[in-house]
Amino acid sequence: MNHAKWITHFTRNRQNRPEPDWAAPISAPPTVLAPMLRSVEQFRLGDGGGPASLIAFNRENFRSRTSELRQIVDLWFAEEAEHARLLGCAVRRFGGRIITSHWSFTAFCLCRRALGVRFELQVLTLMELVSTAYYRMLRNHSPDGPLAAMCELILRDEAGHVAFQRDRLSSDGCPKLGVRGVLWRLQFLLFGYAAGTMLWVNHAPCLKAIGGTRAEFYSEVTRQLLRFIRSLRRVEKRAGVPALWARPARMQFQTAK
């Protein structure tokens, strides 16, 4: 992985970040505002509002590989903390409260802590993909301008995070060939839909209230997951790795003459 590229990316991404106009008048009706507020309150906790760092018991196995990687991880989580700040502004705008615990977030952190840094990185990658689906729907249907502007900023960051995860996975032994490669992709999709379903269960009232549908959400989740898997393949192609379905070359037996 090109560490310098990611340090430059995260450093540059701090620039040109127009702050949403939080003081603008609110025009959303109360029937939409209430579920939207509950959703944004919860999302603030999950998106950088908790521990803005890797928390797996063996996180140093990843972080301390190089000093550059440690810096990249810190820059990545600084952006997550910025998401929590932005979401906090939206919560205050709608007259909500900053929540510090929720059952789904507690379960999320327990998994991240207990199952090791490799699993934690996969869970975080999947959360970035399904969160992208959420923020896209929230932006597209938002009845509130500043909220849509906030989603635009977060989506810009998440696109960078997803690209970083793709680079990390490609350079870090994501299985590329044969049955292992297919199984890895299947488990990735399976956990991705599980993460998406958890998000839908908690945030459907908001997404429905603003005019979204379950079909739209799952098609967005599918789009994000498949695009990520396809982009892994593109990186592999550039590195000269044969396709999943490529058979290993047959061993040539020489017959004695």
| Two tokens, residue 164 | 């970083």
Rounded least distance, CB 128 to Fe ion, Å: 4
Rounded least distance, CB 251 to Fe ion, Å: 45
**Sequential DSSP letters for 221-237:** HHHHHHHHHHHHHHHHH
Q: Give the Cα separation of 33 and 203 in Å (integer).
A: 13
Q: Are 191 and 129 in contact (CB under 8 A)?
A: no
Rounded least distance, CB 61 to Fe ion, Å: 21
User: What letter would DSSP give residue 128?
Assistant: H
Question: What type of residue sits at position 222?
Answer: T
Backbone angles phi, psi at 66, to 5 degrees: -145, 160
* Of 47 and 167, CB closest to Fe ion: 47
Q: Which stretch binds Fe ion (CB under 5 A): 36-44, 57-65, 97-105, 125-133?
A: 125-133
Rounded least distance, CB 82 to Fe ion, Å: 8
Site for Fe ion in 225-254 (CB under 5 A): none
Rounded least distance, CB 193 to Fe ion, Å: 19
Q: Give the Cα separation of 212 and 200 in Å (integer).
A: 11
Please pick, from the candidates 80, 120, 167, 236, the single residue that binds Fe ion as defined by CB under 5 A: 80
Q: Is 120 in the site for Fe ion (CB under 5 A)?
A: no
**Residue closest to Fe ion, measured at CB:** 161
Q: Which stretch binds Fe ion (CB under 5 A): 12-20, 97-105, 114-122, 123-131?
A: 123-131
Q: Are 18 and 149 in contact (CB under 8 A)?
A: yes
Q: Which stretch binds Fe ion (CB under 5 A): 49-57, 153-161, 189-197, 212-220?
A: 153-161
Q: Is 47 in the site for Fe ion (CB under 5 A)?
A: yes
Q: Is 161 in the site for Fe ion (CB under 5 A)?
A: yes
Q: Is 167 in the site for Fe ion (CB under 5 A)?
A: no
Q: Which stretch binds Fe ion (CB under 5 A): 61-69, 105-113, 133-141, 161-169?
A: 161-169
User: What letter would DSSP give residue 26?
Assistant: P
Question: What type of residue sits at position 254?
Answer: Q
| Two tokens, residue 82 | 């910025």
Please pick, from the candidates 38, 44, 83, 168, the single residue that binds Fe ion as defined by CB under 5 A: 83
**Element spanning 249, H or E:** none
Q: Is 128 in the site for Fe ion (CB under 5 A)?
A: yes
Q: Give the Cα separation of 106 and 150 in Å (integer).
A: 25
Rounded least distance, CB 165 to Fe ion, Å: 9
- Give burial (CB, 10 Å; 0-12/13-18/19+) of 84: buried
Interface residues with Fe ion (CB under 5 A)?
Answer: 47, 80, 83, 128, 158, 161
